[in-house]
Structure 1
Amino acid sequence: MRMTGMRGMTGWGRSITALLALATACGCTVQAADGGGKQRSPVRIELPSSAPPSTPAEEKGGNENKPSATPTKPPPAVLWSRGDSGRDVRELQARLRQVAWLFDGPTGTYDDLTERAVKGFQGKRGLPRTGETDTVTWQRLLRMTHEPGKWELYLMGGQPAAAPDPRCLTGRVLCIDKTSRTLRWMIDGRTVSTMAVRFGSRYTPTREGVFSVYWKSRHHVSTLYDSPMPYAMFFSGGQAVHYSSDFAARGYAGASHGCVNVRDERAIAELYAQVRSGDKVVVYW
């Protein structure tokens, strides 16, 4: 006999049909615990989760590819660099001598030797080798050294330039003081620049007196000693003011053959460009 709809179903069949219809309407999952036996097993209905479905980005880790903002640390402030001068630079040089990175001076002028010493100190301690004394370099040096006294500041490697000789107060003058081992470039009594110098030994002394520049030779080489004399400004026979790479390397441990050696090449290059033939030279104790 043919039956339509639910009229011919048993009570169990009608219940199953109703549950399936309900599950379909609400999006639930219907699962039988065991369909193999004769005993009818209860039907479990799994209700859907209220959480929204995950997106592909969430399944792959969310914002893992989004760059994170890292704050940039500003570089330490520079306290002194090449060309600076003064008492603070003198203290820096004295402290560099204490840790054996500088072997002459202090002169009070931040020259090429000081820059080279600072680079060495920085590199040994893993700091950027800038040659400039920044706050980090200075604090590191302070922790390793003691406060220098007067002897370390002024008497170990040349005293501060004293008042110039009266003969230097008029005109254009290379005013050279053997006591403080300094050269002043002066115009009408005003000091334009000051630099550290060294002189001849007791066997080849630098002559003292009042002279004048009679010849300039930018790339001069000594015919007597076969040694370079860049930026030479001759004032007395074969004696001249000139740059010395030996002075730059060895400091006051060496001596000239009578010339006035300058160790800061940049400083003497500037001086050479300003000095004229005929300008006065005064060398004195």
Structure 2
Amino acid sequence: MLRNNTALWRRLGASAGAAAVLAPLAVLGPGAASAQAAPARCTATAGPYQKQAEAFLGRRVDGRQSVGDCEAIRTFQRQHAVYPALGYAGPLTWSMMRLVTQQRAALHHPNSDGRCPVNRGRIACVDLTRQISWVQDGRRLVREPVPVRTGRDGYETRTGPHRVYWRHKNHVSTLYDVPMPYSQFFDGGQAFHAISGNVWSQPGSHGCVNMRPGDAAAYWRLLRTGDDVYVYGRKPGT
């Protein structure tokens, strides 16, 4: 019955599937298998964002690809699930570098624009645009911003005010039969929870806020049932 009711599916199931960790190939997106099987050697070609990548990585900015440049770019690509990881400074790599730059800039003052309402006690803020989340208690920053992976196009993490209404430390998705450690549900089937994959991988979840295991464990210790959650912004690509 759920499969024939799109609205109910999205609210109760898809987000729990958002919560669900996708199989590796689905997490990485189309073509990931062939990308991972690509030759190990670096590309000798300078990409359209070569200078920007060099500056971001602290390399000499000359717009010319060197072995060192390529290896540095490849390391970044592997760490942030950009495939194929051949050291080519293309648009996907530069887009990820810009996102990481935003995340780094938010480290100590994530709510400088005042978009997350932090005048109501403890609250977990989720910024879809920058793909980060943090916890505040009034003006005090309790947990600095951490990278997250939110809902993909068509399964967006729902914006607005929410509250943690159910917590299950060792939850398993009933839809996907996949572990969802440290699950804290705040809207329908949408929850904070840990994944074993890469939080930077695309295209995203089915609505949940995916976190690295250590970050999800920290949220589990910090939040309680009834605590506020506020989601705002728009995930790139949705």
SS in 2 for 1:269: helix
Cα distance in 2 for residues equivalent to 1:214 and 1:96:
47
Q: Which structure exhibits the higher relative contact order, with contacts defined as CA atoms closer than 8 Å and separated by 6 or more residues?
A: 2
Alignment: residue pair count: 152
- The answer on whether the counterparts of 1:105 and 1:157 sit within 8 Å (CA) in structure 2 is no
In structure 2, do the counterparts of structure 1 residues 176 and 96 end up closer, same or farther at CA, with 3 Å as the change threshold? farther
**Max Rg structure:** 1
Aligned partners of 2:115, 2:79: CA distance in 1, in Å? 23
Paired residue secondary structure (1:271): helix
Match of 2:168 among 212, 217, 235: 217
1:281 shift after superposition: 0.3
- TM-score, scaled relative to structure 2: 0.55
What is the DSSP-based 3-state SS (H/G/I as helix, E as strand, rest coil) of the residue aligned with 1:220? strand
Distance 1:153 1:188 in 2: 31
In the other structure, the counterpart of 2:76 is: 102
Q: Does 1:171 align with 2:121?
A: yes
* Cα 1:271–1:227 shift into 2, 3 Å: same
Equivalent residue number for residue 209 of structure 2 = 260
Q: Taking every aligned residue pair, what percent have the same amino acid on both sides?
A: 36
**What TM-score do the two structures reach when normalised by structure 1?**
0.47
Residue 226 in 1 paired to residue 169 in 2? no
- Native 8 Å contact 2:57 2:72 kept in 1: no
Is it true that 1:155 corresponds to 2:104 in the alignment? no
One-letter amino acid of the counterpart of residue 239, structure 1: Q
Partner AA of 2:74 in structure 1: A
Could you report, residue by residue, the CA deviation over 1:109-141 in whole angstroms, capped at 9, with x for unpaired residues? Answer: xxxx9xxxxxxxxxxxxxxxxxxxxxxxxxxxx
CA RMSD after TM alignment: 3.3
Conserved 8 A contact 1:105-1:156: no
Question: 3-state DSSP class of the match of 1:255?
Answer: coil
Instruction: Verify the 8 A CA contact 1:169 1:186 in the aligned structure 2.
Output: no
Residue pair 2:99, 2:130 contacting (<8 A) in 1 also: no
> Which residue identity does 1:196 align to in structure 2?
P
Within 5 Å, which residues of 2 pair with 1:1-285? 98-103=72-77, 155-157=98-100, 159-160=102-103, 161=106, 162=110, 163=112, 164-193=114-143, 194-248=145-199, 251-263=200-212, 265-285=213-233
Unaligned 5+ segments in structure 1 are 1-90, 107-112, 114-150
- The alpha-carbon deviation at position 190 of structure 1 amounts to 1.6
| Pair 169,153 (structure 1): closer, same or farther in 2 beyond 3 Å | farther
Task: Give the C-alpha shift of residue 195 in structure 1.
Answer: 0.5
